Amino acid sequence: MMESVAKTIFRGQVETLIQKGYASASGMTDRSFRKLLDGLCHHVESLKLKPCDYAEGRLPFVIVIKSELLPTAAAMPLVVRSGKAGHVAMQPVKPDDFAPIAGVVISEGMAYLLVDVDRGRETLNVRPEDALKIVRKKRRSPLTIDEGIAIITQHPDFLQKNNCFSLLASRRADQRVPAIWIDGAKRPKLGWCWDRNPHTWLGAASCKQRLGA
């Protein structure tokens, strides 16, 4: 029997991660890494979602690998957009200083599916603290650092110069908000902005749900 389109997309994402070195960098064999993700595959058959649309900024689903398995500092350089590798520039803080905010429940296990992703076009030039209210009013969830990296690992061109995105679900005890954008050297950059500063090119990414194995 021919495999469904959804399963084909899922398998393609798994292979992308392996080709980028996620298995070896996590201390796993390709076979054990595939087995880790196999438990997520059954979810994609039941998802009634629109196809990937870079222009509108929507994705049906993305596999998320937690930073507990592959640290952010190792995962971000594996992102490649237009031949440029991603990097982390969050001084004086570190990605590990951020944690999920109250009300954001992350699936158990080392990997899960992020479902119905929106890049946040409606929240361009909106202060992050106000964008969070908009996202929640729509009964959607803001994204974490792990989730932002997962998106651009699979879809580097989803990161658009005129619509990069904040990751409002990862915070620390101050006004810093993580975000991913294209820096002056045209590299994907994980940095941070202030929660009361709007940017015309920065929206608030969100998802509809998270599904674990």
> With contact defined as beta carbons under 8 Å apart, do 120 and 131 qualify?
yes
**What whole-number distance in Å separates Cα of residue 96 and Cα of residue 66?**
12
For range 28-35, the mean pLDDT: 96
Query: DSSP class of residue 53?
Result: B
Per-residue model confidence (pLDDT) at position 3: 64
Q: How far is CA 209 from CA 61, 74, 139, 140, 197, in A?
A: 10, 26, 10, 7, 27
For range 207-213, the mean pLDDT: 94
Give me the percent of the chain exceeding a pLDDT of 90: 91
Q: pLDDT tens digit string along 58-96?
A: 999 999 999 999 999 999 999 999 999 999 999 999 999
Q: Which residue did the predictor score with more confidence, 5 or 148?
A: 148
Q: pLDDT tens digit string along 86-128?
A: 999 999 999 999 999 999 999 999 999 999 999 999 999 999 9
* Residue 1 predicted with pLDDT over 70: no
Closest CA to 151 of 69, 64, 210: 64
**What whole-number distance in Å separates Cα of residue 35 and Cα of residue 58?**
28
Q: Which residue did the predictor score with more confidence, 68 or 4?
A: 68
**The amino acid at 48:** K
Closest CA to 79 of 151, 132, 147: 151
For range 169-188, the mean pLDDT: 97
* Residue 187 predicted with pLDDT over 70: yes
